Amino acid sequence: MSDKSPLLQDVERADSNASAMTETKGAQVAAGSPSRINMKYVSLVMLVVQNASLILLTRYAKTQPGDQFISTTAVVMAELSKMLACFVVVFFEMDKSVGLWMQHMHTTLVVNFRDTLKVAVPAFIYMIQNNLNYVAIGNLPAATFQVSYQLKILTTAIMSVTLLSKDLNKRQWFSLLLLFAGVAIVQLAGTKEGKSSSVEQNQFIGMVAVLMACCCSGFAGVYFEKILKNSAKVSLWTRNIQLGLFGTLTGIIGAFLKDGDKISEHGFFFGYNKVVWAVIFNQAFGGLLVAVVIKYADNILKGFACSLSICVSAVVAYFLFEFEISMAFVTGTSLVISAVYLYSLPAQK
């Protein structure tokens, strides 16, 4: 529902992680080489498919008839899946040597525990964000959620100016204004889905959850970028293990605090089916995919992929959920897509 983001998140989380650590990466494939060009477009196509499918699958999982899964446990499983995947990647980074891998993990997680502890705050906030995404996507049509969720660009920009003293040019401020106007138009349009859902939905609750998730995304991303500047230099995959460790622990605590009675009565995996597992693995995969996109593409193409995924989600939702595509929705979405593109353009020298 991911740049980690996220639900999407964790596409958003991985996005902020990868962006913050881009400067620390070693030598990359030579710019303009055939392999780099191929990987650039392959990764972008995969990101479009992943972004769109995550939202649509999550919407379907939250509105399908039958036993409803406990979303807080799904957040935990996504964090755990992503962390295990990163363990495997780091193992290959260590030349598939168990000894080197264990030594690296011991140094990172035990010897340098203070450095690992620094990511506890953003990991906790990301966990809250992912839970809010489930609430939002259960109360809003898939396309409406994806358009509204782009407000994370606005919250991230505000946090960057406030916490990192970054400067935004006039074009970026104008794009943020377009973004806000576009989301407002989409929300006022009140677009609905034709197919009835077995779960009670409330658009106001959905929009509040989106706004809170965007605030969490903006603060956690900027906070994480800030602490990275004063932290030990580790690979992106190792950093995701650190985040996943605290994300899993805080997620488990949050799941039992919020849904402890349900979990005790029905079990941790109550309501899980193929669709729910697809959502979990899709979310975990998205967080890792953004790292690949950051390496082989740039922000303009990444923004283009985000815009394209919004269009794909709306079209598929029209056929799958009988989503009503009104003129107001088209107008608002067009403004949001334009804002995403304008904001991602590089600053002119």
Residue 28 has pLDDT above 90, yes or no: no
Please give the pLDDT value at position 125: 93
Q: How confident is the model at residue 133 (pLDDT cuts 50, 70, 90)?
A: very high
Q: Report the Cα 164 to chain-centroid distance in Å.
A: 22
Q: Which residue has the tokens 């055939």?
A: 34
Please give the pLDDT value at position 63: 86
What share of the chain has pLDDT > 70, as a percent? 80
pLDDT-wise least confident of 1-5, 45-49, 89-93, 321-325: 1-5
Q: For 286-315, what is the mean pLDDT?
A: 73
Please give the pLDDT value at position 19: 44
- Closest alpha carbon to 114 in 230, 249, 236, 244: 230
Q: Which residue has the tokens 């706004």?
A: 211
Q: For 16-45, what is the mean pLDDT?
A: 54
Position 8, amino acid? L
Residue 142 has pLDDT above 90, yes or no: no
What backbone phi and psi angles, to 5 degrees, belong to 323?
-65, 130
Domain boundaries, the chain: 10-344
Mean of per-residue pLDDT scores for the chain:
81
Please give the pLDDT value at position 21: 43
Alpha carbon distances (Å) from 235 to 17, 18, 105, 160, 228: 10, 10, 12, 23, 12
pLDDT-wise least confident of 38-42, 50-54, 90-94: 38-42
Q: What is the pLDDT of residues 226-275, one digit of tens each?
A: 877 766 677 778 888 988 899 999 999 999 999 999 999 999 999 999 99
What share of the chain has pLDDT > 90, as a percent? 30
Distance CA 322, CA 319 (A): 5
Q: For 83-108, what is the mean pLDDT?
A: 91
348 versus 339: which is more confidently predicted? 339
- Angle among Cα 251, 106, 73 to the nearest 5 degrees reads 15
Distance CA 135, CA 247 (A): 18
What token pair was written down for 281?
């693995």
- Closest alpha carbon to 298 in 25, 31, 94: 31
C-beta of residue 250 within 8 angstroms of C-beta of residue 126? no
Please give the pLDDT value at position 347: 67
Angle separating helix axes 236-266 and 71-93, nearest 10 degrees:
150
- Closest alpha carbon to 256 in 245, 268, 246, 244: 268
Number of Cβ within a 10 Å radius of residue 31? 7
Residues 6+ apart with CB under 8 A from 42: none
Helices and strands per DSSP (H, E), number in the chain: 14, 0
Number of Cβ within a 10 Å radius of residue 175? 25
Please give the pLDDT value at position 256: 94
